[in-house]
Every structure is written in C-alpha cells, then in structure tokens.
Amino acid sequence: MLKTFVFLGAPGAGKGTIAELLCAKYGQVHIATGDLLRAEKASGSPLGQQASEYMVKGLLVPDELVVTLLTNKLASPEVKARGFVLDGFPRTLNQAQLLQRELDKDGLKVDLVVLFEVDRDLLLRRLTARRLCKVCGAIHNMMFTPPKVENVCDSCGGALYQRSDDTLETAINRLGVYEQETGPVINWYEQSGQLRRITGALEKHANFAVFCQEYGLE
Ligand SMILES: [Zn+2]
C-alpha cells in the first residue's frame, strides 16, 4: 500500500483536510512544517533553538534548516513505521530540490506526489467564505453553514463580519504568491514523472473517496 505522500495545492484546495482524513484512516503521520517548527522549538533541541531565533524575529526559517528538521522527522522510527503525509511542503523549487537531495541521502522515498486541483473561482469562494460574529465570535461559513438571516449570527443575533485575512483582496494575493512560488515545484515534479493530479473541488468526504479509489486505497 502507498504509505508516503507529498500533498500540493493552492490555499483552499483542501489538501490539509484530505491529509487529516487519510491519516485518521490509515495511520500516517500528518506533517506540516509550521507545526514541526513549533514542536521543535518547544522541545528546546539545538535545531529548535536555531529555528526559534529566526521565528522570534519574524524571519523565515532558512530552507536548509527546515529540510534538516523534516528529514530527521521522516527518518524517525515512528514515521518510518507509519508513513507520512507532507502537507504544504515543499512550497518553493529550492525546498523541493533540497528535500529530494536529503531523502535520497537517507534512502527515503515518496510514494506519491499529489496535486489537488480546484479552479480559481471556487478557490476564491472558499477562501472568502468565512464570517465571524462580532459579539460571540462564532464562525459561519457562507458555503457550508450560512447564517439563517443574512449577516446575523445564528447563535446570538450579533452582526457578522469578514476578517481582513479572509477578504477577496487577501485571497487573490495568496493565490498569486502560491502560483509564483509553487508553479515551478509543480513543473519540476511533473518533469520527473512523479506528479499525479486529482480534483479537490468536491465536498471533503466525496473528495477523499475519489482519492482513495484513484490510488487503490481500500
Ligand atoms: Zn454571535
């Protein structure tokens, strides 16, 4: 059975959700680099301390350091036994090439590199769907859990608003950054013959079912 995955896709493509469903069902370790960095920092390890120096200054942790942490994790007995889903990494070509080099060095391999594809209109709708209540903080999603009365909180009757992170402008920016940074990663995996494409456009459980069927997971 396929055990090790790299998941690629735009913000809003649903790769994190599919990663969660996959790991819950088949037991792989779900690895997102943000979580990994925070855990390493909390552990107080030398590499974690090194990463923390960048993080406290609000700087990006250098790719070499992230890839070292990552390959240490992938080579750990737990992850070797259970497999992994790498969610949202590599984001840039440099990261992809560094990761490949380290995986080769450690004799680790990725069974499947999957790109979740969702058209731009749907991505934008998903990324801008969230509304928060000014009074109680309840989260409503205009696609999945729209309020019964427009712009009014179902729980308390307070007014709903859109966070600045969720506006159309921010969403367009995020997609632009993704295309610029990760476009070359997709081309690179494609040219090496590793890339598989699958839809991310369905509802999450339907999408997961398609995923399992496509890749022979039962
Ligand atoms: Zn409310």
Query: Within its chain, how far is the Cα of 20 from the centroid?
Result: 10
Choose the catalytic residue: 174, 196, 197, 204.
174
The order of strands in the sheet holding 4-9 is: 29-31, 84-87, 4-9, 112-117, 195-199
Q: Is 82 a catalytic residue?
A: no
- Residue 99 pLDDT grade (very low, low, confident, very high; cuts 50, 70, 90): very high
- Residue 3 pLDDT grade (very low, low, confident, very high; cuts 50, 70, 90): very high
Would you say the pTM of this structure is higher than 0.85?
A: yes
Q: Which residues surround ligand 1, an ion (CB under 5 A)?
A: 133, 135-136, 138, 153, 155-156, 158
Residue ranges of the chain that CATH labels 3.40.50.300: 4-120+171-214
- Residue 218 pLDDT grade (very low, low, confident, very high; cuts 50, 70, 90): confident
pLDDT, tens digit, 9 for 90 and up, residues 144-190: 899 999 999 999 999 999 999 999 999 999 999 999 999 999 999 99
pLDDT for the residue numbered 1: 81
DSSP state of 54: H
Say if residue 134's pLDDT is above 90.
yes
Q: How far is the CA of 151 from the centre of ligand 1 (A)?
A: 10
**Superfamily grouping for domain 4-120+171-214:** P-loop containing nucleotide triphosphate hydrolases (3.40.50.300)
Choose the catalytic residue: 38, 82, 125, 130.
130
Q: How far is the CA of 160 from the centre of ligand 1 (A)?
A: 8
Q: Is 125 a catalytic residue?
A: no
Q: How far is the CA of 77 from the centre of ligand 1 (A)?
A: 46
Q: For residue 62, is the peptide bond before it cis, meaning its omega torsion is within 30 degrees of 0?
A: no
Structure-token match 């090194």, residue found: 50
Q: Is 174 a catalytic residue?
A: yes
